[in-house]
Structures are given as C-alpha cells and as structure tokens.
Amino acid sequence: MSTTNFFLPGFYENFHIITFLADLMEETPDYFYEGAKIRAAYGCFPGNIWNGGRGGLGSATKDEIQQVFEEYNRRGISLRFTYTNPMLEKIHFYDTYCNLCMELGNNGQNEVLVNSPELEEFLRKMYPSYSFLSSTTKCLDDPAQITEELNKDYKLVVLDSAMNNTEELFSLPHKEKIELIVNHYCRDNCPNRREHYREVGRCQLEYEEINYPCGFITRDFYKVMQNRSFITTDLIYGKYKNAGLCNMKLDGRGFKKVKLIESFVYFLAKPEHRDEVRMALLSRIV
C-alpha cells in the first residue's frame, strides 16, 4: 500500500494536538484515509533566530526541547526546523541556542528546511545526520528552476503553491521529492511574499512582534478552499497519489487551534468520521 505523507505545522506550539492525532491514527486507523501518515511536524522552538516563514518569539528550556524530540521521534515523526530566515548574516550562524536545538536532534531522524546557501553549507558541515529540504521561501515557480532544484541533494523540495493544480506540475521529474503546500492561506500568486518573509526574518532577529499587514492569513479554512492553489482530498488521494505526488504540507503555523484542527480533520479523516476526530482533537484545547 502506498502512503500519502503529511507534514503538520507548529511542532512546538501544537505539540499536544499533533502527538494526540498521531496516536489516534494509530489506534483508530479506520477513521482516516488509507495510507495517510504524519511524517514530520515543522516549525521552530520559540526564539530561534534562524527561523523564517512565520514568527516564533519566546524560549524553551533544554529539557523541553529534549522531550519534544523524544516524543515525536518515538512515534516515527521527524521534527523539521524551518531555518529559512532570509536576513541572516554569518555572525548569526554561531547562535548558541539555535546550535543547541540542532545538536539535541542530531540523531539521524530529523530534518531542516533551508533557503540560504551559506547557512546550508554551515549546517551540512556541523550536522550531517539531518535531512535537508529546499524551502518554499525560495519562491521558485519556473519549471526549469524547479527541475534544477530537484536534481540537487535535497530529500524534498517544497514548491511555491503557484505550481499547484497546473499541468506543468505533472511534467516535473523526481515527483517523489516534490512537496506541495495544499492549503496555502495567502492569496494566489501573492506579490508580497518575499517582502513578508524578509519582515518576518527581521522581526525574528530583533525580537519584535510581527506586524505585517496581511489580511489573507486570518481567513478561515473554508475561505482558503476557494484559492486556485487549494488541493482537495479527492485530488490528493486520487489524481496526485496516482501520479506519484505523495508529499503534502499543511499551512498553519501560528494560527488559532480551532482553525488548525479543521484542516487536520479535512485532510486526514474520512468524511464519515470527521465529527468524531474533530471532537477528539477539540478536547485537547478545552
């Protein structure tokens, strides 16, 4: 049986929900789509200045970090760092806290998303047991550029959502290395993505709350379904899976947990069991 791999947002802030969901999928497999698996949870520990994409201020203790790694990894779930801050300079590579987080997960089970060649070179040298992935924050939407990226030494390449639901997607090579963001909350072909990522990165470095004006990421899940880039479950478990496109990333870092749960339920649970799964997950936040 082939699997459909899902990568869930916010491994730290959504720790209890994701681990509970993983256990529920193990205990009641009939509630969920056949072959659906949680392969990784992505994000950062609060206060990681290398983090990009979404903000993550705060801090975590060494014991907390170790526990998070242990609980995910013992369930067969990789912890995936989003180390894609586009504003980094070489001096930032020696940040004690970020390196501690990498070292604590340096066991061959975990992953890191990158978009900076300099940081990638540093991390590959210091932490070779990690799997490296190419980030969507590179904003690659040209098939020739994507093909070049897929030919590189990356476990997966996360595409710009502009490639979703296009014929060009199905002509790309190495489909087993392609990862798709199925429910991108931003508007289709957003012209401000690079500016947004740069502002997030700056705020991360300067320990500021992010105040970037973007009304799209506040939309509820069912509004997001109207995006051209949205990939329905019928397509995921039918056309895409049959074409060898089996790696699906769910957007949602930093979102309210009710909104997040709705996306988990839609993509993973069979329609006839969504109410049971939804209620079980909601019980974790009340």
φ, ψ of residue 93 to 5 degrees: the values are: -65, -20
In this predicted model, what pLDDT tens digit does every residue of 56-67 receive, in sequence order? 677 899 999 999
pLDDT of 216 higher than 70: no
Highest mean pLDDT out of 144-153, 158-167, 198-207: 144-153
CA distance 179 to 36: 15
- The CATH number of the domain holding residue 97 is 3.20.20
Bridge pairing between strands 36-43 and 78-83: parallel
The reported pLDDT for the residue numbered 208 is 75
233's CB contacts (< 8 A; 6+ apart) are 33, 266, 267
Show the domain range for 139.
4-282
Number of structural domains, the chain? 1
The reported pLDDT for the residue numbered 213 is 59
φ, ψ of residue 115 to 5 degrees: the values are: -140, -10
Measuring CA to CA, which residue among 82, 131, 127, 124 is closest to residue 109? 131
The reported pLDDT for the residue numbered 140 is 85
CA distance 218 to 232: 20
The reported pLDDT for the residue numbered 55 is 66
Measuring CA to CA, which residue among 151, 145, 214 is closest to residue 186? 214
Which tokens in the block code for residue 264? 């988990």
The reported pLDDT for the residue numbered 280 is 97
What mean pLDDT comes out for the span 3-19? 96
pLDDT of 212 higher than 70: no
In this predicted model, what pLDDT tens digit does every residue of 82-124 receive, in sequence order? 998 888 999 999 999 999 999 999 999 999 999 999 999 999 9
The reported pLDDT for the residue numbered 215 is 57
3-class DSSP state of 52: coil
- State the average pLDDT for the chain: 91
